[in-house]
Structure 1
Amino acid sequence: MINQITERISLQNLPFSIRSSALSLLPKILKPSLRLVPFSAQNKILIPALHSVFKEAIEDGDFEFLTDKWLKISITDIDLHWWISFDQDRLIMAAPELAITEDVSFSASGDDLLLIAGRKQDPDTLFFQRRLHIEGDTELGLEVKNLIDAVDVDQLPSSVHKIINILADVVEQTQQEIKHGVLV
C-alpha cells in the first residue's frame, strides 16, 4: 500500500512554493495538535518504535550505558520533549510531569532530525552548524550519538525506511533550493 502511494505521489516534483510553505507551516500545525496527544499514547508509539529500530543494539547490551541515566530528546520547532532511559533490558520513557533532570539532551528541529534519520546529514555536521544541540554529559552524549550512527537504516521495515527517505529527500531538496535562492 505504501509503495503504491509513494509511486503515485512524487513529493519532490511538487512546486518549490508548496514544499517550502509545507516545511514552514507543518510545525505550526503540529505544535498545538501534539499537545493533545497524551503521554500514554506517545509512550505506546515511541517505545515500540525505538525497540524496533534498536533491536540488535538492545539485545547486544549496547544501551546499558544509559541505565540510571536520562536522555532528553527535543524537537524544538514543535516543542515536543521525551525523556528516555534504559532499565532491565528495555528502553523506558518518563512522563513530563515527573520533571526528570536529564543527564544529556539532544535538540533540533524536526526537519534536521528527519535529515539525520534519512542519512542526508550526519549529527556531527549539524552539531558544528549549531543545528543540533547536545548539552550535559559529553561522554554520554557521544555514546548516544555513536549508537545512533551505528543503526543500519536498511534494517527498518521497508515502508518506514521508504517514508523516511522520501521525506528526508524533500526536506533536503527544499533546503538546498532555499539556500541557493530559488524564487517562490
Structure 2
Amino acid sequence: MHLSFFMQKKLLLELLDRLLSEDNELDSLHHKWLKIEVTDLKFSCYLSFAEQKFVIKQQCKKRDVIFSGALNQFILIAGRKEDPDTLFFQRRLVIEGDTELDLEIKNLLDNIYFENLSPFIEKSLNHFATFVQRGLIPLGGKGVTASFFASDQ
C-alpha cells in the first residue's frame, strides 16, 4: 500500500503549517524552490512559499537548493539528534545550490516549533530518531515506509 502524491502533499502541508506557522523567516523561500530527495525511498518533492502558504509540487523545472539523503538522515534532523551541517560534512546529506538560501533553510530547521505537534507525535518522533541514532533501524532498509512513499508513476 502507498499513498498518492496528492495525499502525501496534503500530509506534508499540514505538518509544515503546524511546525512553521509562527515563523517569519519563511520569506526566504518566497518563489524559491527547495528540492527534497529521500534517496533510499526514491521520493522527491519541491517546496516553496508563496502568498503566505506553502506550495508543494511533484515536479518542477526550477530548483534553487537541493537537500538529498536517506530517510534516516532526515529523521535525525527532525528528531534533533543531528544538525544538517554535521550530516553534510559526514557526506550523509547532500546540499547543493544557492548557498545563502541553503543557510536560511538550515536556520529554519533549527527553529521548528515542535510544541505545535501533539505530545504523542513529538515523543514518537524523538523515540524513532533515537532508534536511528543508535543504529537500531538499519540505513537504507526497505519496509513499510518504502511502500508508503512509493511513486505513483
What is the aligned partner in structure 2 of residue 39 from structure 1? 5
SS in structure 2 of the partner of residue 56 of structure 1: coil
SS in structure 1 of the partner of residue 81 of structure 2: coil
What is the aligned partner in structure 1 of residue 132 from structure 2? 171
Unpaired runs of at least 5, structure 2: 140-153
Look up the equivalent residue of 1:53 and give its one-letter code: L
Give the superposition deviation at 1:159. 1.2
Aligned residues: 139
* Greater RCO (Cα-Cα under 8 Å, separation 6 or more): 2
Deviations 1:88-146 (A, max 9, x none): 001111132xx332110111111111011111111111011011111011111110011
SS in structure 2 of the partner of residue 162 of structure 1: helix
Q: TM-score, normalised by structure 2?
A: 0.83
What is the aligned partner in structure 2 of residue 79 from structure 1? 42
Look up the equivalent residue of 1:165 and give its one-letter code: N
Structure 1 runs of 4+ aligned residues shifted over 2 Å read 152-156
Unpaired runs of at least 5, structure 1: 1-32, 179-184
Q: 1:147 aligns with which of 108, 126, 140?
A: 108
Q: TM-score, normalised by structure 1?
A: 0.70
In the aligned structure 2, how far is the partner of 1:38 from the partner of 1:78? 14
What is the aligned partner in structure 2 of residue 56 from structure 1? 22
Q: 1:159 aligns with which of 115, 120, 125?
A: 120
SS in structure 1 of the partner of residue 135 of structure 2: helix
In the aligned structure 1, how far is the partner of 2:113 from the partner of 2:15? 14
Q: State the percentage of identical aligned residues.
A: 40
Q: Do 1:83 and 1:100's aligned partners in 2 also have CA atoms closer than 8 Å?
A: no
Look up the equivalent residue of 1:47 and give its one-letter code: L
Equivalence map 1:1-184=2 (5 Å): 34=2, 37-57=3-23, 60=24, 62-96=25-59, 99-174=60-135
Q: CA RMSD in A?
A: 2.1
Give the superposition deviation at 1:163. 1.0
Q: Do 1:94 and 1:100's aligned partners in 2 also have CA atoms closer than 8 Å?
A: no
More helix by share: 1
What is the aligned partner in structure 1 of residue 142 from structure 2? none
